[in-house]
Structure 1
Amino acid sequence: MPQRSSVTLPDGVRLHVEISGTDDAPITVFLLHGWTLDTRTWHRQLSGLQETLGTPVRIVAYDARGHGRSGGTSRAGANLAQLGDDLAEVITAVAPTGPIVLAGHSLGGMTIMEFAHGHPRFFALRVAGLVFISTTAEGHTHTVYGLPPRITRLIRLAETTGAGILARGGSWRVHRYLLRALAPSLRWLLFGDRCAPEDLIVTTAAVARAQLLAIGAFRSSVGEQQRLTTLAALGDLPAAALVGDQDRLTPPPCAESIAAALPNADLTVCPGAGHMLMLERPAIVTAALAQVTRAALGNPQDAPDLQAA
């Protein structure tokens, strides 16, 4: 079982942190969850990475501000630049030495890019590998929800208006009865061909813990971020970019542009999968984490075939 801990940020927000593995492991892997979600969406990687890797590894996962079991955020703190600063604080607190691999899903991937942009020297000194899962470096440029342009524009208008309303929701969370009604919509938006009932339960339970203010206030920052130039300056780090071909939020062009910006990035497109790859294709995600971690440790020859995972 992971060891539960916390990190208190300079502005007083307390982050819930879970740590697996021994302190003397040669490398630490950080798992960053998506917008409105929490560390539970990584549960299959938390249990499977050590076995797949076959080498001691320390795994750190934490709930972002305003999400999961972490403290709430102010509206001023609900932006990607702040999340990048938060990641720097967590690394300093729980993994002050040694190489690290950063893996981010959706908002988590954008957080990694913001950390690289805002803390370039720190990033260069510590980061030995990157895994980007169902994320983007181009805001909502490619987000069309799998729908015609006219309908996409209407949905974006409704989404932006709704985000503004939610941003005034303070510390309130989505009521569980409302989430039950929204479950079919979440299933359509976040999953591909198949969705196991337990995966939808994990996802809706995570959304239920997200602060309404965080759900709404992060929307503007997420939609506006442009970090391809930041990625292109990172050099030849071992990296992977994964996406589902039915992802309605961060479709394949998002992962393709990330992979194009990183010279050593392996691109994996998962047929039939949606936005929740850690749940929909756990073996492929875990294999990608293992492959990048091995390369970061200097053992790329042991990397598995992601397409066969």
Structure 2
Amino acid sequence: MQLNHAFVLTLIAGSLVACGGGGSSSPTDPVVAVNPPATPVAPPVVPVAPPVVPVTPTATGENTGTVSARFVNGDNSRFIFTSIGLQSSGKASLVVQDASGALSTIGGIFLTGNPSVTREISGDAAFAQGRWFKGAFSYSSGATTLTGNNASAHYVAYNVLAALPATGTLTCDAGAFTAPSYTGGNSVSSSAYFGTASGTASVSFDASGAKVVLSIDASAGGSRGKVTASTSMGSAASSSITGNYLSSGTGAQLMLGDGGAGRYLLIAAYKAQLANGANYQGMATFRCS
């Protein structure tokens, strides 16, 4: 299935499992004992304890990941965004990137909050990828609060290709992945809210367009699942949706991007159902040359 400049917005009911937090305490002032001599010649002097300096606890849940360069946003920039019940893609327009490399604004989607936390930040001048973990994001028809439980929002911003090559076969690297996050299906423990992913990909070109072969392995809580795709894209700005990406189950949305300096990007937003019946979703970007 192919979508040109697709903007897909699908609302799906989902349940979130909230997690709690703990507190902290500070030490009390020391007790100073004063023992005057048996026959005092002057009133005893009681030392004054130094003031207690408040200690600010070390922040937890900071951003993770890094970028090698800031994303270069332009007229050809596009994005893909996915969270529980929401899949969106289209023209990136305004993009705001902080010093860590995390994006807080992608088109008309905004992340706010204190704290606002982004995990698995990756990218360079050609793309910016990450997973919003804490904060609140808003969009044209609603808002969602992320508290650090299984709810996460995965994103990637990239620059679309000007044109497809007429011929050629590309070799892709091992890919950059966000941690797949639990979205529903069979229930799992909180330790399995997030998993790991790895994959392989290849891209070739001929007169009919681009041919993409993708395989992603996702695992969490001791269970595994696989996303596979073999599809074609007829133009540089095409998007291919495979399997059950727009519903529950297993599938992907695939795009090609400009990797800069004659390189290419293969971008995949995916959903995977593991062997235990739990559903996960994530983002992957492969650099191909």
- TM-score under structure 2 length normalisation: 0.25
Max Rg structure: 2
- Say which structure is richer in helix: 1
- Say which structure is richer in strand: 2
